[in-house]
Structure 1
């Protein structure tokens, strides 16, 4: 791969290119010094953005000249391009890039306190968001919609499933997209109507088809509520309401505490807005539970 081609590829190709995948293509042919540098980068690739080329060379125990040759061999014009790619991968949400070389506090009590503090920060950021000013309007739309559809991929899928379990307690016609394995999205999107409503949950790492799916849903004129995180970009343009919920953490793996909390609040507030209709639906479900003796 020629010098500078990495930057062009990253900017123009839909797929996210990772630093470790680039290194893997060249690894077997690397000279000894450059291989030492590759091993250092691969141990904690997300940390690359925190160092200069000189500092990285010192950590690996090689010369700065070896570091310069290494990054040019990988196809970068200069070290800053590699750092930019590492930052992009970290924002992308790869667990590999979220690992830190810096040690967490040593004692279990310190680690747990730090963990709780980060969870609380994400909750505070979520509920201080100005976009929540439209919460009542969103809930009213969820109540009056003929059908409510929920969509999410990967980790977002189980949040969408959880939301459906809450909404079916007080209203009918709440569905997952797609409902059955083996079916495609097109059959469902073709059936959407302007009086339906779609909740899309799309936190990082979002799958490639999501933007096209949201564009197709928007064309049906069914309003979209988009629950996502601050890294969302173009996908937000297709939603009537976008609520960005922080999921980042200094620990390995993203945190979904605030997202789950807001999803629960959304169900609670929508039930409140539903009034007597929602209570009647819930009472009927509880009566049937008793009749079927479904719980201990």
Structure 2
């Protein structure tokens, strides 16, 4: 049973102070992972003894056990664990958000080499077809990168589209293809099996994930993007930055051919009155 399920089941049967703590944690479950028992008691407006009784009432041996489970569930990707009861406001909030974004970018690009990005760019330009895979929020990044890469590579597909199964496309992949798989949390069931199938078919694979996935040494390029945030939504600035770098390197590597294709696209749009 998850941490939040334990709280939900116990709420109707709790004493008033324990219920106040339970309702607080139901709104901000990440707080138990972030604070010790004394600090949590202060935030919720209850005593430390109430915190101790509460964690036992929901089935944990002690506070640290409850904290470990909440922390593990937060790492798995639930946005509910990202929200916090205390937030900065105004200019200070903006400063904190920008510092968070910069830290995520720094963390991400300390782990990515220019040679890796250039190798992905070469794989894109040399591919028979480029496949961009993404589910849920990940499909937004796949679509964004397709929009950018179509200016330098003629055959770039986002999969799966509505009503399609992924198997229809996996069956068409060859060793001459390049696949960029966005697998950000919360990942769909079967992510590992999708990766194994792509590898089995011999296509060149670049994997883009958040920091919650362990590095995959069996994949040519695994770009880990830090999405850490103090707010209720993940910070995806580093994911966009990786997309931009892939597009930028591919455009530069394409050289004259990219400029000619861009010019052709612009002239075509002008002829048909689209722009």
Give the TM-score normalised by the residue count of structure 2.
0.89
Cα 1:52–1:246, aligned 2, differ >3 Å: closer, same or farther? Answer: closer
Work out which of the residue numbers 212, 227, 231 in structure 2 matches 1:247: 227
Does the 8 Å CA contact 1:131/1:243 hold for their aligned counterparts? Answer: no
Answering whether residue 177 of structure 2 is matched by residue 192 of structure 1, we say: no
Alignment RMSD: 2.3
1:17-68 Cα shifts (integer Å, max 9, x gaps) = 3x2222112322334443233123223210102344465456553573x544
**What's the counterpart of residue 55 of structure 2?**
71
CA distance in 2, matches of 1:272, 1:57: 56
**What's the counterpart of residue 5 of structure 2?**
21
Structure 2: give runs of 5+ residues left out of the alignment: none
Structure 1: give runs of 5+ residues left out of the alignment: 1-5, 7-16
CA distance in 2, matches of 1:221, 1:265: 25
CA distance in 2, matches of 1:142, 1:152: 17
Report the Cα offset of residue 288 of structure 1.
Answer: 1.3
5 Å-filtered alignment, 1:128-139, equals 128-139=110-121
Give the number of aligned pairs.
Answer: 274
Report the Cα offset of residue 140 of structure 1.
Answer: 0.9
Answering whether residue 201 of structure 2 is matched by residue 220 of structure 1, we say: yes
Cα 1:50–1:173, aligned 2, differ >3 Å: closer, same or farther? Answer: closer
SS of the counterpart of 2:186?
A: coil
CA distance in 2, matches of 1:134, 1:237: 13
5 Å-filtered alignment, 1:112-261, equals 112-178=94-160, 180-233=161-214, 236=216, 239-261=219-241
CA distance in 2, matches of 1:257, 1:53: 33
**What's the counterpart of residue 275 of structure 1?**
255
CA distance in 2, matches of 1:34, 1:102: 20
Report the Cα offset of residue 274 of structure 1.
Answer: 1.7
**What's the counterpart of residue 47 of structure 1?**
31
CA distance in 1, matches of 2:12, 2:66: 20
Does the 8 Å CA contact 1:37/1:62 hold for their aligned counterparts? Answer: no
Does the 8 Å CA contact 2:152/2:250 hold for their aligned counterparts? Answer: no
Report the Cα offset of residue 202 of structure 1.
Answer: 1.8
**What's the counterpart of residue 69 of structure 2?**
85
1:155-205 Cα shifts (integer Å, max 9, x gaps) = 211111000001111111100111x31111111111111110110112222
CA distance in 2, matches of 1:153, 1:217: 16
Cα 1:35–1:272, aligned 2, differ >3 Å: closer, same or farther? Answer: same
Report the Cα offset of residue 290 of structure 1.
Answer: 1.6
Give the TM-score normalised by the residue count of structure 1.
0.83
CA distance in 1, matches of 2:242, 2:53: 49
CA distance in 2, matches of 1:32, 1:40: 12
